[in-house]
Amino acid sequence: MNESIRLIEGLEAGRDHIASLRAGVEPPVTPAMRARLRQLFGREISPREAVAQIVADVRCRGDAALRQYTRLIDGADLDMLTADANAIEAAYQATHVQLKEALHLASDRIRAFHEREPGGSWLEWDDEGGALGQLVRPLQRVGVYVPGGRAAYPSSLLMTVIPAQVAGVEEIVVTTPPGPGGLPAPSILAAARVVGLEQVFLLGGAQAVAALAYGTESVPRVDKIVGAGGLFVTLAKKQVYGDVGIDGLHGPTETLLIADRTANATLAAADLLAQAEHDPLATALLVTPSQLLAKNVQSEVNRQLPLLDRADIIAEALQGQGAIIVVADLDEALTLSNEYAPEHLCLLVADPWPLVGRVHNAGGVFVGQQVSEALGDYVIGPSHVMPTGGTARFASPLHVREFLKVTSIFAPGDATTKRLAPAAEAIARAEGLTAHAGAVAAHAAQGLPTGHSRPSIGSIGSVGSIG
């Protein structure tokens, strides 16, 4: 019998497997993708080159280029580049009541979670009449990319727009790919209605990212682009970074389960299958010290897989990236997980909380067998936009502070200026910057009065709704 997911024995063999998963920054170009690019561009062209051409065209020709690439890539011939408030309202009214209630529940929980995040401006006065502080303010305009294509993701709209709203972002520009009929899935528009959006731009792929980064006749230029997408979205975000901020480069999704002998094999298999359902490039891993559990989960995967709607996609993902890795103990399991730095880490062990503090690298930790990662995709509360590709070593899930910027406040009193000046002059001269040293000395010699009152930070500026 052919196993649906490989079984790997030992820490070093497990390391070899996860190293192979991290070997390439970008997935290989399949023959089908190569043929599609040749069809679209009329010549042999790499994904990176194709994205560069799309970005340049949109930057140069604006809406005309957007319509061209939307017609070529998405098969939609658009008169208007947006779904307006009427279309959003119509989609919401046509949505089944159960889904509407679910979207509102998810929205409420996501908002409540992100409103708990710390943040805010501060200003501290000292005894010498000076002050230091930070003005923490929301970005003015943010672009949110909501993926489409293989499936519709209303949850992604909620998970990206709501933290920006909590941060106090003044204008949120949402884009999502249109379907052949010109509109996205109704569920995405319904989600837009739940969070109070009055328009959604009907743009996908690299052309959407380029429009957000540089602006067109119809699409306003934004300060930052957030949200996950496919290869072409990721490449475009990489190319426009610097001209615009980005939240990160999101690759295919990934989950790693750590399980001991007490874990339920049926549930563990279900979690692996759910993760692999996203995409043929998704990664689903189980690491366990129990040989018996490993065999049982492997059997459960074989049993459950044929019963699922997206069995072909799941099978491709499991054969390509999935694995059950048997290690000596939970210490080795944690070592392997921290080296891999998964987007999602699930602790299916008898006593999970002692392990939580030993997790150094993960986008999110799902504690105990009562919770599935899939539940977190929708309604638990934290944003499901998380770091992938090992970037959890240094990156964070999407959160309110992603939409805030900090301005430092320098307001030392005269006595402080005089006291600090000699040290500043010494460092400036060591760097060969004698004009810096001269400016410091001149200001210190003047003995100018501070000349200002002591305002509170609230009278200067605030963070917005999280205060």
300 in the same domain as 244:
no
431 in the same domain as 335:
no
* Burial of residue 136, with CB atoms counted within 10 A of its CB: 0-12 exposed, 13-18 middle, 19 or more buried: buried
pLDDT category at 466 given cuts 50, 70, 90 is very low
133 in the same domain as 192:
yes
Dihedral sign of CA atoms 431, 432, 436, 439 in order: positive
Find the DSSP H helices in 122-254: 154-167, 186-194, 205-214, 231-240
pTM above 0.75, yes or no: yes
Which pLDDT does position 467 carry in this prediction?
41
Q: Which of 17, 114, 278, 344 is catalytic?
A: 344
CATH code of the domain covering residue 264: 3.40.50.1980
Task: Tell me if 454 sits within 8 A of 125, measured CB to CB.
Answer: yes
Lowest mean pLDDT among 119-133, 166-180, 267-281, 334-348: 119-133
On whether residue 203 sits in a domain, the answer given is yes
Which pLDDT does position 465 carry in this prediction?
41
User: Residue range 333-352: average pLDDT?
Assistant: 97
**Helix, strand, or coil (residue 156):** helix
What φ, ψ does residue 34 adopt, rounded to 5°?
A: -60, -40
User: Residue range 19-27: average pLDDT?
Assistant: 77
Phi-psi region of 396 (alpha: psi -120 to 50; beta: other; left: phi over 0): beta
188 pLDDT above the threshold of 70: yes
User: Residue range 35-50: average pLDDT?
Assistant: 91
The three-state DSSP-derived secondary structure of 17-38 is: HHHHHCCCCCCCCCHHHHHHHH
264 in the same domain as 370:
yes
User: Residue range 88-94: average pLDDT?
Assistant: 97
- Comparison of pLDDT for 241 and 125, the residue scoring more: 241
On whether residue 28 sits in a domain, the answer given is no
Cα–Cα–Cα angle for 400, 119, 455, rounded to 5 degrees: 135
What is the C-alpha to C-alpha distance for residues 21 and 321, in angstroms, rounded to an integer? 7
Active site residue 343: yes
462 pLDDT above the threshold of 60: no
The 10s digit of each residue's pLDDT in 189-212 is: 999 999 999 999 999 999 999 999
User: Residue range 441-452: average pLDDT?
Assistant: 77
The 10s digit of each residue's pLDDT in 282-313 is: 999 999 999 999 999 999 999 999 999 999 99
DSSP state string for 416-439: HHHHHHHHHHHHHHHTT-HHHHHH
On whether residue 1 sits in a domain, the answer given is no
1 pLDDT above the threshold of 60: no
pLDDT category at 333 given cuts 50, 70, 90 is very high
202 in the same domain as 117:
yes
What angle, rounded to 10 degrees, do the helices at 311-320 and 265-276 form?
100
What is the C-alpha to C-alpha distance for residues 429 and 416, in angstroms, rounded to an integer? 20
In 274-384, DSSP assigns E strands to 283-288, 323-326, 344-348, 364-367
239 in the same domain as 147:
yes
On whether residue 344 sits in a domain, the answer given is yes
324 in the same domain as 208:
no
On whether residue 228 sits in a domain, the answer given is yes
- For residue 366, the Cα-to-chain-centroid distance in whole angstroms is 18
255 in the same domain as 244:
no
Number of domains in the chain: 3
Picking from 404, 432, 449, the residue at the C-terminal end of a domain is: 404
**Helix, strand, or coil (residue 331):** helix
214 pLDDT above the threshold of 80: yes
Task: Tell me if 313 sits within 8 A of 275, measured CB to CB.
Answer: no
Picking from 404, 424, 439, the residue at the C-terminal end of a domain is: 404
463 pLDDT above the threshold of 50: no
**Helix, strand, or coil (residue 321):** coil
On whether residue 66 sits in a domain, the answer given is no
CATH code of the domain covering residue 427: 1.20.5
Owning domain of residue 440: 412-460
372 in the same domain as 260:
yes
231 in the same domain as 96:
yes
On whether residue 67 sits in a domain, the answer given is no
The 10s digit of each residue's pLDDT in 216-263 is: 999 999 999 999 998 899 999 999 999 999 999 998 999 999 999 999
Which pLDDT does position 122 carry in this prediction?
87
Q: Which of 300, 343, 402, 425 is catalytic?
A: 343
369 in the same domain as 302:
yes
pLDDT category at 314 given cuts 50, 70, 90 is very high
On whether residue 49 sits in a domain, the answer given is no
Picking from 348, 366, 393, the residue at the C-terminal end of a domain is: 393
86 in the same domain as 177:
yes
User: Residue range 32-61: average pLDDT?
Assistant: 93
